[in-house]
Amino acid sequence: MNSNNNYNNDSSSEDDLQVYETLTKLAPPNELLPRKLTIDIDVKSLYPLKPLPQFCKTYTTFIEESSQRECSIPDVQVTDENRTLLDYYEENKQNLVYKRFDQLDLGKRTSNDRTYFASLLANFKRAHPRVFFRGEALFDQKLTPCPSNSIQFDSNFESGNLFCAFKKAENVYDLIIQNDINTRGNTQWFFFSVTGAKAGQTIQFNILNHLKTGSLFNEGLQPAVYSVKENQLVGTEWCRDGFNISYFKSVFMKEYPLSLKKKYYQLRFHYTFKHEGDKVYFAHSYPYTYTNLLEFLNTQLEDQERNQYLSRKVLCTTLGGNTCEVLTITSNSLQRRAFRKGVVFLARQHPGEPQGSYVMQGIIDFLTSNNPQAEYLRQNCIFKIFPMMNSDGVVNGNYRCGLEGSDLNRRWKKPNKYLHPSVYYAKKYVKGFSKERQILLVVDLHGHSRKQSSFVYGCAYSSQVKTIERVFALLMSKVNPFMDYSSCTFRVESAKDKTARIQLWRELKINWVYTYECSFYGQQKRHYQIKDYLNCGVSICNALSQIVKDTTKEFTNQANQPDIQQQMLEELGKMPQTDDLDIGSDSSQSEAELSDDELVQLFQPKTYSIKQKNRSKQQETNNKKKFQQPNSNLKSTIASQKASILQESPSKNSDQKPPMSSQKPKNPLYRIQAPQRVRQPDQVKQVEPPLMVDKSVQTDDWMYRQWLIQMGKLKKQQEFQSITPTRNIYKSSSQSVTRFVVKNSTMKNDRGRVDSISLMASGLQNKLISSSRQRQMMRYSGSNFMS
């Protein structure tokens, strides 16, 4: 057998040699562009950013710090209950040690300024979006932190969002995190760095403006910490650290609106620096940036074994100029390709939930591997993967929204092509994919900041426990040790009607559409590590392989194996009925979004809703009023124009006068057309000259229009009575037909049918009548009339 192999190798080498000799005799080919599989790492932000260290190159275990350590730093309490962040700045601006843009003026705004503290507004009416703060552009601002004699803060890097910092006391610093772009809130994610601390120095950090009323920080969650020197010395990656952690209601009120007097929430934690001159990063969870995604995809595309199963395509370009990618993973074999099921994965609709990206990386890494389960899935499924839906929000440090200032996971019902391009084209892509083949599973990956473990949100037509929609969720909990089925809920709530889960479930009629949530904390008060999030993605694929085997028995001669779906349904039938209660987000979508007056100034008119279009028209009319002529000789002008209008008035009653008001007159002239007459077959239509009316006398639009209507009606009535005979037309209704009874003194006293021809013969059609009555007479020309 070995000899045969050697013989085959020798023959193949001889054939290759002959082919090589033949090719060398040919003319040299033309130069071709090399095939490019990798992605250019081109991250576009609204403002220049600094590079970050190479995070997460290795995933090592770590020992968690104890959260019971004590600290002797005194607490600084404030008793004022009606202060805002602007008031805090005015009182402590002498203690300011950092602001994200060095030349920003953080002073109090004027009464007409509608921007909010820690909010940046991006104007997309220009070819290149410009960022504003209090009406001033930020592109000319310096991106350098303020100098400090002690420690220095920084957040001018990808996904960073620290807005400013104050030194409240010795080793005590108050921090304010930046609102999402084009919003006035959504502050929960934080990511910043600290340098210049001494070894063994303990510092207290107070983040003053968190959004949510509850947090896992009170249950044992610690901030994510990355030490540059620790990584260089020991190789430690991101870990959980910090002590004396508490999350409570802040004393500062939100600015939207002040009448409700809602308060922010404050996070307080302490950290002891281990190395002199170290640079330490702090974050809500392990960050996963847009650059991390592009680097990971490049490693997959550069691998010769993996890239044969993976193909990429640019789905669209976002508002900020970044690309939204869609990946396709399947086997190259054409065997049973038409019978393959469709599977869709989405991640990072909320940029401040990086857990979804780690789970997605675990899914992609597993599906492109040589694992037998992965090979089986590639042969029986076609995977469509959207790894980062909101790349703009990830780059600019947003927590929940994109650059348009709205939650993308609340725009799936009617996404705007220009404001929400990733949602619009992703929904269109998935709909087209569903027409091509049956979609078996759709999973949207998220992170949860108020519940432990991992779980899913599903949809169900009924509240019964034994339903097909719960089968795959139960199977995932059996395979995944990090998933808790008791935390899963299956409800269709009106507040989440516009999410990807509910809209795809309704429109595509797919049973298994889930929102997969991974906790920021972990399970049973144990922190999740990065490798745990990666394993969650692998567990989803393992559960899917079992379902696919169950649905393809007719093709694989596995009819004797037990039905997995039936087993799950029987187990569900033994479970008690649950209420499917859930701790959702306590932030209202309308609270954090800007008003229509503010939004119409930032985007193109083609992106407006009907309400915003009406608002923009109202603003245009208000702007025109500002450029009217001055009020010189206003009374005399009004009196003269009033006299001219009365002379040209169609009414013969001199007592009728137009109403007057104290508003400014308007200059432009417009024409009021004469009443339209019915076209006569025998006589030529006489067109009266149009009545010229000076619009400057129109002091009150509504009252002026009513006056014109009354005058026109009076003139029509007088003309009609002078030409036509006296008639009394009244309407009588029957069971099925509406009949008109006409009394006319000139007609004979007999009953019969009177149609349009007899009326023209009698001369009544030549009389001037109104157009509306003429249409009625023609409509009922075959009906019975009584004279």
Q: Residue 125, CB half-sphere, CA atoms under 13 Å: how many?
A: 12
Asked if 546 and 444 touch (Cβ cutoff 8 Å), the reply is no
Place of tokens 């010795």: 170
Copy the structure tokens of residue 128. 């290149």
CA distance 746 to 766: 15
Active site residue: 517, 554, 620, 719, which one?
517
Asked if 708 and 697 touch (Cβ cutoff 8 Å), the reply is no
Burial 120-149 (b: 16+ CB within 10 A, else e): bbbebeeeebebbbbeeebeebeeebeeee
3-state secondary structure 28-70: CCCCCCCCCCCCCCCCCCCCCCECCCCCCCCCCCCCCCCCCCC
554 included as an active-site residue? no
The CA–CA distances, whole Å, from 223 to 177, 190, 286, 300, 545 equal 15, 10, 9, 31, 36
Q: Residue 786, CB half-sphere, CA atoms under 13 Å: how many?
A: 8
Strands 341-347 and 323-329, sheet pairing = unpaired
Asked if 391 and 324 touch (Cβ cutoff 8 Å), the reply is yes
Q: What are phi and psi of 365, to 5 degrees?
A: -65, -35
CA distance 305 to 344: 23
Angle between helices 355-367 and 372-380 (to 10 degrees): 90
CA distance 764 to 770: 13
N-to-C CA span, the chain: 116
The CA–CA distances, whole Å, from 343 to 510, 520, 548 equal 11, 26, 11
Q: Apex CA 586: angle with CA 582 and CA 591, to 5°?
A: 145
**CB atoms inside a 10 Å sphere around CB 530:** 24
Residues 6+ apart with CB under 8 A from 551: 341, 440
Burial 78-116 (b: 16+ CB within 10 A, else e): eeeeeebbbebbeeeeeeebbbbbeebebeeeeeeeebb
Q: What are phi and psi of 198, to 5 degrees?
A: -90, 155
Q: Which amino acid is at 313?
A: K
Active site residues per annotation: 517
